[in-house]
Amino acid sequence: MGRFFLNVFRLAIKELQSLRHDPMMLFLIVYAFSAAVIMVADGVKLEVVNATMGVVDDDRSQLSRRMTDAFAAPYFKTPEVIDRGTVDRAMDVGRYGFVLEFPPGFEADVLRGRVPAIGLTIDATVMVQAGNGAAYIQSILLREATAYLQGTPLEAQLPIAVVSRVRFNPNIEGRWFSSIMQLTNSITILSILLVGAAVIREREHGTIEHLLVMPVGAFEIALAKVLANGAVLLLAVVLSMELVVRGWLGVPIAGSRALFLCGTVFYLFSTTSLGILIATLARSMPQFALMAIPVFTTMMLLSGNMTPLESMPQALQWAMHVSPSVYYVQFAQGLLYRGATLEIVWQPLAIMVGLGVVYLAFAVHRFRIMLAHAG
């Protein structure tokens, strides 16, 4: 047993030395856990920001002007008053994301207790702003109407006001969500690429023959690659979490960071094993890249990271349960956003470990076949 651990340790040191002499891979690790996280957090906006709006004001009343002036930064740019005849052309060329239309006699109808309709045209090609912006506009219009009619007999006839209380992200800051999810994406991509590239590098550089004459087994070689590359990525996750996510971006972490790192270790165990498995199926680095890209792209897009798993077709939900990314996203969101404890997130942790064991067993089997063919 002592010989086994010594062999794994020495092979892991060899992996680290090999990575140290690969400047492009080191640059990719630094970029993925620093600049990429910052750019996605600051660049990808899930909330409405600087939305363009045109206003057709056929009423030209105090109430319509008040409602128009209520749309201000940072959610909306200053609305532009336009003619009704220019609406279609302006929407066709994408000049406005929203066009609000006040009908003639709007204020008079409101004061008489009627319920006049306000037209809202939305450019739905701007998908995120189209959905969220409609809710923003409805809320702003209701707020201004309530303030305008305050103290009049009509105030009692207004619809019941809905008061929303947002948990875990009170200001609905997009960077709180996107920074953490980009961090998980970087872990997924790099863990597969890094360990897979290490296997392919052995084959292309001819060092696989050196391993064949050494008194080591396929399991020791595979485990050393998992441990060495996983340790590098774990260090990158720690630095990214502390210096980039919490330091640079100022994102608060609700749960235990130690428990998050523990769960990341289990996830890295699964994904690095998957990376070895893919590498044993590829014959060259380009072929490995072409096989790995659809794998980690699918893992990122369909893990519940960007859209809830429950909104996907049932068959696809079942298929994605073989991916450890589904359980890692559940674990990370529950822990980092909601402050969940171990008694709540233990199940996704256990499933990640189980999937990792299956992937590693299959990867070692394929690795033995690869070594036999190389010999």
pLDDT of residue 47: 77
Question: What band does 213 get if pLDDT is binned at 50, 70 and 90?
Answer: low
Domain ranges, ordered by start, for the chain:
2-44+173-374, 53-157
Average pLDDT over residues 76-87: 91
- pLDDT top residue among 78 and 148: 78
Rounded CA-CA distance 124/131 in Å is 8
Per CATH, the number for 53-157 is 3.40.1710.10
Residues 6+ positions from 279 with CB-CB distance below 8 Å? 195, 196, 197, 198, 199, 200, 288
pLDDT of residue 132: 82
Rounded CA-CA distance 125/54 in Å is 17
**Residue 156 predicted with pLDDT over 60:** no
Tens of pLDDT, residue by residue over 230-271, are 999 999 999 999 999 999 999 999 889 999 999 999 999 999
**Residue 143 predicted with pLDDT over 90:** no
**Residue 160 predicted with pLDDT over 60:** no
**Residue 366 predicted with pLDDT over 60:** yes
Q: Minimum mean pLDDT among 50-64, 74-88, 132-146, 151-165: which range?
A: 151-165
Angle (CA) 113 115 121, round 5°: 150
**Residue 375 predicted with pLDDT over 70:** no
Average pLDDT over residues 347-356: 94
pLDDT of residue 113: 76
Residues 6+ positions from 328 with CB-CB distance below 8 Å? 184, 187, 263, 264, 267, 303, 348, 352
pLDDT of residue 220: 86
Question: The whole model's pTM is what?
Answer: 0.82
**Residue 294 predicted with pLDDT over 90:** yes
Question: What band does 374 get if pLDDT is binned at 50, 70 and 90?
Answer: low
